[in-house]
Structure 1
């Protein structure tokens, strides 16, 4: 989410989820008692408490102010080095750009200025905890830096082992997204806690820059686990492309900027290995790959070209010259969407990771978490997966349901299968 306020001292991305860091006010310097008739200075509290010990490495400098606003924040370590940080959008705290170091002492000095110009300054000095020794929870950020993604690209973080329900609010508070131009969204958890998605109510606008930080290093998760590391990435959203596949007609419509630019005959999954129906997102693109299903009930090994992954379970769009006679009339695949070699090669030059793919009319429905399924539910259903209150202005509208082909306006995940077919 876009930050309204920025100080030259600080530079990290943050979002609007609130975080309280403890209790007391550190009493540093304060304005003197106002003379009769003179405006009172701001009231300011700062956390962690002064002289606090064993403070978490993910600590933030919490600020609460009345009759004024924060006008200066300076955080230094015990060697006098400056700690970069940036405010949460709601003003509840300042988030260091990197995890604090274990068993180090830090000092934060915060100044608030009232409408009358009077100021109040508070200072707090605290010492961090030793390095956590709990089991590390591995996180994977499926949003790489310096890429161009499609307009349906959800920011996805996966966890191994999954995050239990009672710890998801703490984890979610440390997941930050900023968009330029602003297009705020919400985090939503997959039921088992293995993945969490971030998206806006509508598809990303082409040209949007998205910056992400999963600030989980040193985060205490539950009773005996700890986050593994911080992960950051900044990328852009490219042109609008969507694929609409109809089992009834055995045709794929390629939609670009709201217009159908090509229709392509397809062959989907045969009755014993049906293709999933639902709203999916292109996850990977491979010029060449090998589908190896040895050990399954239907073992085979086959090299394929121009393959685009849709699910963790192994459903792809790919070139299949062996089924070109069936494409447009008969389903013969192992669950994939088969195209001619020429059509698959052309499509690779059109699509991006993050493009929406809608398949309808098959025998089975897409299951939650089998791929990046953030668009396979309504906005009202999506926000119910947030572990924190939904920000103002993002409450669902009963009628909100963007058309999949509309121009955009708006264990970790299971080990990828190469079922293919």
Structure 2
């Protein structure tokens, strides 16, 4: 994979050569002084005309042109069918003073990042398909060129099998402190490819927080911090998957970026024992609300969930799902979904008389019409709610249950 410009690995390096040359020259001067009664010719002034000893010394002291000390190592020069997200690797004896450029067929330099420690260049985005690129490496030391190397490679043709990559969230959205970042793929990603995919998904939060990606399924990956997002955090995430291999001849279709933010901290905690919801905003309790949870035959789930969607008015219709004697069709106000299986926080005027005392719902968190409206006007998608004390543990995956796992459990879902 090495090309022309690789430095010689045999013999002495430039510094060693100069040292020996100086010693050899000094030896000639001493010999001349010992064999001549007159003025010895000096190698500094080149000696007199026709003096062979002095002339030879002068020639020995002149250093040869420096050897090439840089090389492109990958892709191999002349390589074809190179993936569009390829890194360019090189070697240099002096990486700090070495530069590298990649240019396209139009002669324009391609944007990328040069990592001098690892001696690798990373493209800022996927290279154009089916195009030839030229790599040039230049090494310098104290302003003197110590080596150059160049190579070319050609990227693969645009693949026909492309995987769609999408983000659930979009630019300028404001969400709750429990909101996971959600990326979905149009095709299952084999386990052996997930680590590379995950490395190309970066999250920047201000203020910074520790966090990690967790594979919910072969087609979906979430990101959450160790603790709830800090209020008013600004988040930018970048998914660079255009041209990235995703197994079985499939490649990522595109890159995407999202610039969003977290709102105030708003959390809800429901106790089956007290049958009350405690609402906190930015750490301060602002409301205690009587509730009615699921009755014995249809208990509510205990665990930490987040608000998935909000509907000012909707209809709950189970006539196609439950036996006729158990089915119902009911108009609902101020509905806020917290599980995929159909558990909501919602207004239930028919149960206001027993809220705070008895559980009569089908698994939902019932509140009064007044409190339903109050909550609905203040919540954001991603606000967390924790229910405790019921007979049904929340099943992971039944909603956005990222916070229903401990941090150590959550990290196990990372491919890295």
Coarse TM-score class (shorter-chain normalised): 0.7 to 0.9
Larger of the two Rg values belongs to structure: 2
Q: Which structure has the highest helix share of the two?
A: 2
Which residue of 2 is the match for residue 7 of structure 1? Answer: none
Q: Which of structures 1 and 2 has the larger relative contact order (alpha carbons within 8 angstroms, sep 6+)?
A: 1
**What SS does the aligned partner of 1:273 have?**
coil
The superposition leaves residues 121-163 of structure 1 with CA deviations (integer Å, 9 ceiling, x where unpaired) of 66543221122223x4443322321112222222122334433
Please report how far the alpha carbon of residue 97 of structure 1 lies from its aligned counterpart in structure 2 after TM superposition: 4.2
Which residue of 2 is the match for residue 314 of structure 1? Answer: 342
- Of 274, 283, 287, the match for 1:262: 287
- Of 132, 139, 155, the match for 2:181: 155
| Structure-to-structure mapping, 1:268-283, within 5 angstroms | 268-283=293-308
Relative to structure 1, is the Cα distance of residues 305 and 138 closer, same or farther in structure 2, using a 3 angstrom cutoff? Answer: farther
Which residue of 2 is the match for residue 58 of structure 1? Answer: 85
The superposition leaves residues 203-262 of structure 1 with CA deviations (integer Å, 9 ceiling, x where unpaired) of 222232211122223332222433343222011122112111111211111111222111
- Of 368, 371, 380, the match for 1:340: 368
- Of 236, 245, 248, the match for 2:261: 236
Structure 1 CA distance for aligned equivalents of residues 335 and 190 of structure 2? 35
Which residue of 1 is the match for residue 239 of structure 2? Answer: 214
Structure 1 CA distance for aligned equivalents of residues 366 and 211 of structure 2? 34
Which residue of 1 is the match for residue 396 of structure 2? Answer: 368
Structure 1 CA distance for aligned equivalents of residues 104 and 220 of structure 2? 35
Please report how far the alpha carbon of residue 296 of structure 1 lies from its aligned counterpart in structure 2 after TM superposition: 0.6
Q: Give the conservation status (yes or no) of the 8 Å contact 2:294–2:300.
A: yes
**What SS does the aligned partner of 1:234 have?**
strand
Structure 2 CA distance for aligned equivalents of residues 115 and 200 of structure 1? 46
Q: Give the conservation status (yes or no) of the 8 Å contact 2:5–2:69.
A: no
Structure 1 regions of 5+ residues with no counterpart? 1-23, 389-421
Which residue of 1 is the match for residue 313 of structure 2? Answer: 288
TM-score (norm 1): 0.73
Which residue of 1 is the match for residue 379 of structure 2? Answer: 351
The superposition leaves residues 57-97 of structure 1 with CA deviations (integer Å, 9 ceiling, x where unpaired) of 33344567775448755443222344334578996855544
The superposition leaves residues 336-371 of structure 1 with CA deviations (integer Å, 9 ceiling, x where unpaired) of 222222212211232222222211112222222222
Structure 1 CA distance for aligned equivalents of residues 319 and 116 of structure 2? 51
Relative to structure 1, is the Cα distance of residues 265 and 310 closer, same or farther in structure 2, using a 3 angstrom cutoff? Answer: same
Structure 1 CA distance for aligned equivalents of residues 274 and 142 of structure 2? 67
Please report how far the alpha carbon of residue 312 of structure 1 lies from its aligned counterpart in structure 2 after TM superposition: 2.6
| Structure-to-structure mapping, 1:102-113, within 5 angstroms | 102-109=129-136
Deviates more, 1:118-127 or 1:320-329: 118-127
Relative to structure 1, is the Cα distance of residues 232 and 300 closer, same or farther in structure 2, using a 3 angstrom cutoff? Answer: farther
**What SS does the aligned partner of 1:101 have?**
coil
Deviates more, 1:306-315 or 1:146-155: 306-315
Structure 2 CA distance for aligned equivalents of residues 122 and 179 of structure 1? 40
Which residue of 2 is the match for residue 132 of structure 1? Answer: 159
Structure 2 CA distance for aligned equivalents of residues 35 and 347 of structure 1? 77
Alignment length (residue pairs):
362
**What SS does the aligned partner of 2:209 have?**
coil
Q: 1:305 aligned to 2:333? A: yes
Structure 2 CA distance for aligned equivalents of residues 119 and 311 of structure 1? 65
Structure 2 regions of 5+ residues with no counterpart? 20-66
Q: Give the conservation status (yes or no) of the 8 Å contact 1:41–1:118.
A: no
Q: Give the conservation status (yes or no) of the 8 Å contact 2:70–2:90.
A: no
**What SS does the aligned partner of 2:373 have?**
helix
Q: Give the conservation status (yes or no) of the 8 Å contact 2:336–2:346.
A: yes
Q: 1:174 aligned to 2:200? A: yes
Which residue of 2 is the match for residue 383 of structure 1? Answer: 411
Relative to structure 1, is the Cα distance of residues 172 and 321 closer, same or farther in structure 2, using a 3 angstrom cutoff? Answer: same
